Structure 1
Amino acid sequence: MIMENENTTTAQRIAQSIGERIISGALEPDAPLRQDHLAREFNSSHVPVREAFRQLEAQHLVRAVPRRGVRVAPLDASSVKEIAEMRAALEVVALRNAAPKLTSAHLARIELALIEADNAETIQEFEVTNRTFHHALVAPCAMPRLLACLDGLQLANSRLVFAMARSAGWRPRSNQDHRLILQALRSRNIDQACGLLARHIQTIERLAFPAS
């Protein structure tokens, strides 16, 4: 049991490190990930590396390709469309279940995340606060499997945010969509909040691939 816990902890550490490299763009789409190399880098056996690969695949950051091994997942129009549509569907389900449970304390946490995102001065700060905002919206749904899936999808989305910032630049700006979603939730207009959220999530796909 001790060995299993050690392998789990090491796998999480490896997955976090590799995930950060993928999200930031240090590891490019289709880059190969070698078990031997990673086991040496993290001074581990192959077992936690394989578990890290499974975690990263669940987060849509890597994929196992027949006869080519594990590679960084693509960042093309079809993969971005899939991620956006999955997020739009699942995050709306989570919000519909979370909204009736939102207390004044929950709304305050959502507003704080919104303000911090508006005040972000770097893309790194914005990415963290943006994830915090979206998690705060749906956390009260108390559906752990759904929330775990959304965390993975949000990481995949963060990767696209960084890619767009590298190609088009990034500057601090207020996120009006976030503010409108919060206003709808404060008014207890759940249908409006869900509609705004779905539109907001799908916007990044249109920004990334305007001609698609």
Structure 2
Amino acid sequence: MSRFKTRAQHVADDLRERILGGEFKGGTQLRQDALARDYEVSRIPVREALLTLEAEGLVAFHAHRGAFTTELSATTIRELFDLRVILECYVFKHSIPRMTAEDFARAGQILDEYDAALDSGSRIGNWSEYNWAFHRSLYQAADLPESMTIISQLNTKADRYIRMQLLYTREIDKAEREHRGLIELARQGRINESVNALEAHIREACDGIVAVLDNSVLTS
């Protein structure tokens, strides 16, 4: 059953495929006037489409310069996620023995809000923020502020890739189950299993987005 698409949705869907298909390389300026002529629409749906793609991590707006495609590098993704594994597993290992009932309750509350946003398909631009808030809630008890600062920076750099992984691999349910599993393993004090599960969670997210890039274009 076909779904009616607005002009903005049509432009966003087509631009998405053109970006991931390699027609627009990273750092390419997307001129709204030219796109409006290309798609035979006004600038308004083009602007809405670009904002959608910004939330998905494919487009970035630069002050006084306009919209540009973001750099999508599998090598960069793997490096960022490898660093996440090293540091986050280290901090999680130290955090688990010190987590309290309040820590687990806070992590669960954040996850409920995160799951609601994922399931509704809303607030896409905030998905990576929810993801970081959840992971941070698992790590804070370690009381390792220098490590947390670096982890926060890594997650900021990886945020668009995290959104893309959730959007394009169609594995939201899997991500939700894995998050719940991390809480439960940590609650039971099963440190090694918790850390192994976290490593698998991060690496599989990385593999998912790299696979999207390797496949070049999205399939509907």
Q: Common fold, TM-score beyond 0.5?
A: yes
Q: Does 1:102 align with 2:95?
A: no
The answer for the alignment partner of 1:119 in structure 2 is 116
Offset, 1:206: 0.9
Please report how far the alpha carbon of residue 145 of structure 1 lies from its aligned counterpart in structure 2 after TM superposition.
Answer: 0.8
Matched, 1:200 2:201: yes
The question of 1:88 aligning with 2:121 is answered no
Structure 1 counterpart of 2:93, which letter? R
Is 1:134 matched with 2:135? yes
Task: For residue 118 of structure 1, report the CA deviation from its aligned partner.
Answer: 1.0
SS in 2 for 1:209: helix
Q: Partner residue of 1:27? A: 60
Letter of the 1:94 counterpart: V
Candidates 74, 91, 100, aligned match of 1:77:
74
Aligned CA distance change for structure 1 residues 23 and 98 (closer, same or farther; 3 Å): farther
Give the whole-Å Cα distance in 2 for the aligned partners of 1:75 and 1:148: 24
Distance of 1:193 and 1:118 partners within structure 2: 20
Percent identity of equivalent pairs: 20
Shift of 1:172: 6.4
Tell me which residue corresponds to 1:153: 154
Q: Equivalents in 2 of 1:205, 1:91: separation in Å?
A: 14
Matched with 1:181 is 182
8 Å CA contact 2:88–2:151 kept in 1: the answer is yes
Query: 1:200 & 1:172 partners in 2: Cα distance?
Result: 12
**For the structure 1 residues 22 and 126, does the alpha-carbon distance in structure 2 shift closer, same or farther, using more than 3 Å as the test?**
closer
Post-superposition Cα deviations, 1:24-70, rounded to whole Å, max 9, x if no partner, equal: 44428xxxx89xx79xxxxxxxxxxxxxxxxxxxxxxxxxxxxxxxx
TM-score, structure 2 as length reference: 0.60
The answer to whether the Cα contact below 8 Å between 2:106 and 2:137 also exists between their aligned partners in 1 is: yes
User: In structure 2, what residue type is equivalent to 1:194?
Assistant: V
The residue type equivalent to 2:104 in the other structure is: L
SS in 2 for 1:175: helix
Query: Tell me, which stretches of 5 or more residues in structure 1 are unaligned?
Result: 1-20, 39-71
The structure-2 alpha-carbon separation of the partners of 1:176 and 1:165, relative to structure 1 and needing over 3 Å to count, comes to closer
Contact 1:92 1:198 in 2 (8 A): yes
Q: CA deviation at 1:113?
A: 1.4
**Unaligned ranges ≥5, structure 2:** 1-53, 216-220
Per the alignment, in what secondary structure is the counterpart of residue 159 of structure 1?
Answer: helix
